[in-house]
Structure 1
Amino acid sequence: MEYEEVLKSVKLIREGMPASVEEFKSMGLARDGVYKRLEFAIGMVLDGLSELAREHDIIALSYKEMVEGLSEKGAIPESVADKAIFLAQLREVLIYDYDSVNDEMAFRDMEEYLEFIETVLTFLEGSR
């Protein structure tokens, strides 16, 4: 897995975030780019967890089931699993229900989203 690309996306998001929600909402296409980078970074982290799941013979129909399987087998700490499940759900919204994304909430919580990505990524790096 290309962890550098995940870190690059996290860095670009942090650098691209404006100081206020009003500025964020007015970014237009650039705001969409922030969401796309977020989706990409989450997807890469979930792909890393998928590799780990294959190593543990976990077959799942969703990322949530996959992460729960990893947690049940003790392959991933519960604290990391909780963050990964949240990220999987956020990715689903970004992909399939983009029109419902609340810019105010995303602006307020973006740093937390990025920290969740970094937490899961740190775990993955340590598991290799």
Structure 2
Amino acid sequence: MDGRIQHKKELIDRSLKIIRENLPGSLEKFLQMGLEKDGIYKQLEFAIQNVLDICNEINFSLELGIVVGYDDIVGNLHKAKIIDDSLKEKLKFLIQLREVLIYNYDLIQDEIAFKNMPEYLAIIEDFLAFIQRFLEGQK
């Protein structure tokens, strides 16, 4: 489990770095980015997918239960007291954000996404900090 999770963590770190390095300092510049802006959204989606893949890996490895979707995975982790209420809510938000990024891309409002991007990245970083503590506790 550790090797697969570590690889996913590295992918998340890489995506966050790409987003930070390419996110402009102003909304005006963000709105003018074109395909680069789409790339930022794609990296965010990829980071979220890897977060959810890590959750699935933990659920599967610890045999927490059968799942139909990501909500079930998060629910199982919460029920097993692996994640707390706060992280559960953050993960549920990331699930919804991922759905928008994949299936309802046309609904994204760039102004809101730009304003909230630091919060999105902070949620993912909170998860990375949790996963580090979790892995250390498993050794």
Equivalent of 1:87 in 94, 104, 113: 94
Q: CA deviation at 1:122?
A: 1.4
Distance 1:78 1:59 in 2: 21
Q: Match of 1:22?
A: 28
- Between 1:72-81 and 1:51-60, the stretch displaced more is 51-60
Q: Is the 8 A contact 1:49 1:124 kept in 2?
A: no
* Residues 24-57 of structure 1, C-alpha deviations (whole Å, 9 max, x = no match): 1110000000000000000001100001111142
Q: What's the RMSD between the two structures over aligned residues? A: 1.1
TM-score using structure 1 length: 0.94
Q: Match of 1:98?
A: 105
Q: Pairwise mapping of residues 106-117 of structure 1 onto structure 2 (< 5 A)?
A: 106-117=113-124
Distance 2:52 2:65 in 1: 14
TM-score using structure 2 length: 0.87
Distance 2:97 2:117 in 1: 11
Q: Match of 1:66?
A: 73
Paired positions, count:
128
Distance 1:64 1:105 in 2: 25
- Between 1:61-70 and 1:37-46, the stretch displaced more is 61-70
Runs of 4+ with deviation above 4 angstroms: none
Equivalent of 1:32 in 38, 45, 58: 38
Specify every segment of 5 or more residues in structure 1 that has no aligned partner in the other structure, as ranges.
Answer: none
Specify every segment of 5 or more residues in structure 2 that has no aligned partner in the other structure, as ranges.
Answer: none
Which of these two proteins has the greater Rg computed from alpha carbons? Answer: 2
What one-letter code is carried by the residue in structure 2 that aligns with 1:121? Answer: L
Distance 1:37 1:90 in 2: 13
